Amino acid sequence: MSHKVAVIGGDGIGPEVIEVALSILRAAGADLETTDFRLGGFRYLEDGTVLTDQILSDLRAYDAIFLGAVGTPDVPPGIIERGLLLRARFELDLYINLRPFVTTNGHEFIVIRENTEGTYAGEGGFLRKGTSDEIATQGSVNTRKGVERCIRYGFELARSRERKHLTLVHKTNVLTFSGDLWERAFNEVAIEYPDVTTAYNHIDAACIYFVEDPYRYDVVVTDNLFGDILTDLGGAISGGIGMASSANLNPERTAPSLFEPVHGSAPDIAGKGLANPTAAVLSGAMMLDFLGENEIADRVRAACEDVAGDGNTSAIGSAIMANL
């Protein structure tokens, strides 16, 4: 079955790793009809375009979005992040950020990050900016609907796995409003899943456990900010950020989901053929899973196993291709 995929190579090493990833997905048997969208920091510098209403409308016609990386030092912080990445998450309702990890000892676990609320929702502002009395506020927006649907996704995923265990991570002893909502929703939804065991960790404790005892985790669910921190830490204990894949999901499929490696645009090595494409390949495998091509996705993941990540882009891609 053919699938329509919007491709955003983006900035830096993004186009390099996406090109390799697409060649491997196709070699594994995926039938992908791709369209390139010129978006990223480079496009903003050309004509000021970030993510227009028309482009967003065009993206809705696709089955999935495959993104390499965006961001360049020549663009002020926040313009691309908020104008492209966060806007896509909000407008396409990509409320689940899913990141799988396999530690160097072979333990596999998954982090679910709520992807459209929390401190990233943009609530806040300045008073008396630029003066000695300046005040900056940055609120955290947590709705019952947004929190519960994320938690429920976590329980469903945990139920589908052998261990059937779900851990909530937050900071309920200090964040007594948002934390209370998350904890109450978690406990109420848990009643509907008696076959899933549960646990709770404060975020600071979870950071320690991720390093010292990741084996306690099966599925983790948390809010946007804590999820951002934990998933980068998860990459660090799983072979490095070059291996870290991710999916930004609209589980109801009312809009296309977006799949991307999380390593960033790495402008210092762009164009040198040094980028590790493994994270992009594994993100592509997640895309194939979501599109129903599970056998091909499994083939791609298996091909990535035991491939050294210290070669150049071409060598690593060729090694993965040889394992198909």
Residues annotated catalytic, as ranges: 120, 171, 204, 228, 232
Q: 178-189 burial string, b = 16+ CB within 10 Å, else e?
A: bbebbeebbeeb
Task: Name residue, tokens 């990386």.
Answer: 69
Q: What backbone phi and psi angles, to 5 degrees, belong to 166?
A: -130, 130
Give me the residues paired with residue 108 across strands.
102
Radius of gyration of the chain (CA): 20
In order, the DSSP letters of 168-204 are EEE-TTT-TTHHHHHHHHHHHHHTT-TTSEEEEEEHH
Q: What CA–CA distance (Å, rounded) separates 172 from 169?
A: 9
Backbone angles phi, psi at 122, to 5 degrees: 95, 15
End-to-end CA distance of the chain: 20
| Angstrom distance (rounded) from CA 271 to CA 260 | 19
Exposure pattern of 78-115 as b/e (b: 16+ CB <10 Å)? eebeebbbbebbbbbbbbbbbbbbbbeeebebbbbbbb
Which residues are CB-neighbours of 88 under 8 A, at least 6 positions away?
Answer: 51, 56, 59, 65, 94, 248, 258
* Tokens encoding 1: 């079955």
